[in-house]
Amino acid sequence: MSDRLSQLQDQVNKLASLFCDATGILQQRAKPSKFENFAESLNRGYEDDDKDKPVDEKSIEDVKIEYAKSITSAAKRIDELIDSLPNEDESNEQLQAQQLRELEIENAIAARQLEYVTKCAENLLQQIQQKISYVAQSQLNFHQEPKDP
């Protein structure tokens, strides 16, 4: 999932390719038109060709509608994506810069707090370790002493 701007650009590109495809389809499936004063001489019955493929006519119509639908939905999607972009007042450059500066300061404060807590914990740990070693030492001493006399 890309960001919104890339999505928007992709959608615009999609719209462009849909235009191309739709035009191509229209051209491909268009009835051949008569050349004036020319068709008669060739004596080709265009109408006969049409009668040969009555089912095809319907599918052409379907494809056309399909393309019209996808073009409108792509355009609609572009509009939606544009709407989803942030509002003007949120996107002020100065405001953003200020936000960044504030965030930086807040970040530094948070970092210092974290450092402080870590230092406290380290102190406590050191104290506890000292006491424990003290206790262990005196325990050893205490257990050794009765054997001495």
Partner 1 sequence: MMDNQHFDEPPTAQLSSTYPSAPMEYVNMYTNENVKSGKAPPPPKIIKDNYTSFGRLIDPNEVLIRPLESQGIQQLYSLQTPDQSRPHLNTNNYKRELKKLNHSILIAYLDLLEVLVKAPNTQIQIEQAAPIQLNELGEPIQNPEPIVIIKTLREQKLEDLEVLFINMHHLINELRPHQARDNIRCILEMQKQQRIELAEKFKEHLRKIVDLLKHCIDSIRPEVCAKQSTLMNELSNLIKNANQLTKSLDKFSPNKTNGYHIQDESDIEMREMDTERNNLINLVNITSNKLSQQKINNNNNNEQSIINNKNCDIKDLILCDLIDDFLIKENEF
DSSP-assigned states of every residue in 27-64: HHTSPPPPPTTTHHHHT--HHHHHHH-HHHHHHHHHHH
CA 67/CA 64 separation, integer angstroms: 5
Q: Which is nearer to partner 1, 59 or 113 (CB)?
A: 113
The CA–CA distances, whole Å, from 119 to 72, 74, 122 equal 62, 58, 5
Q: Which is nearer to partner 1, 38 or 48 (CB)?
A: 38
DSSP code at position 86: P
Q: Which is nearer to partner 1, 59 or 138 (CB)?
A: 138
Residues engaged in binding partner 1 (CB under 8 A): 3-5, 8-9, 12, 15-16, 19, 23, 26, 71, 75, 78-79, 82-83, 85-88, 91-93, 96-97, 99-100, 103-104, 106-107, 110-111, 113-114, 116-118, 120-121, 123-124, 127-128, 131, 134-135, 138-139, 141-142, 145, 149
